[in-house]
Amino acid sequence: MKIVTSLSFRGQCREAFEFYAKVLGGKITAAMPYGDAPPDMGMPDADGKYKDWLMHCWLDVGDQSLMGADMDVDWAQNIDKPKNGFDVTLHTNDKAEGQRWFDELSEGGKTVMPFSETFWSPGFGSLVDKFGVPWMVNTIPTGDWKPPQG
């Protein structure tokens, strides 16, 4: 089984996924715009405003994936509201890699919790990226790691 998070955007899916591919070292394997849909599918305004918006995008990063699409308020309730109730979470054994992911993903976005040592991790942070997607970056502690003494 594979569980894949699907992210929704309002016309920024391609830009977001190109950014995520660069930051995470992944590869976009599908990017299908509404304008390429068969006419009988009844896709919303496939010839106009939405023709370049993506109805499906797929990003592979190692053996993990993210899926995405562009939606608008007429067909995706609350798409214009801040995303909440979930985080895309990245885990690594390498604190420096986690710090890099955090720094790059937070460019143009908002830091929620700065990347730093915690009682459960040598490096953890949370942010909302410039596309409004919430992320958590976590460094998995090694067996000899000890939490800070406070």
82-150 and 1-79 share a CATH fold: yes
Question: Could you read off the pLDDT of 68-108 as tens digits, one per residue?
Answer: 999 998 888 888 888 888 999 999 999 999 999 999 999 99
Report pLDDT for 133: 97
* CATH architecture of the domain with residue range 82-150: 2-Layer Sandwich (3.30)
Report pLDDT for 68: 97
Which stretches of the chain drop beneath a pLDDT of 70?
Answer: 43-47, 150
The number of beta carbons lying within 10 Å of the beta carbon of residue 7 is 21
What is the token pair recorded at 77?
């309730």
- List the alpha helices (DSSP H) in the chain: 13-24, 95-106
The number of beta carbons lying within 10 Å of the beta carbon of residue 148 is 9
- CATH number of the domain located at residue range(s) 1-79 in this protein: 3.30.720.100
Report pLDDT for 122: 96
Report pLDDT for 147: 85
Report pLDDT for 52: 92
Domain segments of the chain: what residues? Answer: 1-79, 82-150
The number of beta carbons lying within 10 Å of the beta carbon of residue 100 is 15
Contact 90, 134 (CB under 8 A): no
Report pLDDT for 143: 87
Report pLDDT for 130: 97
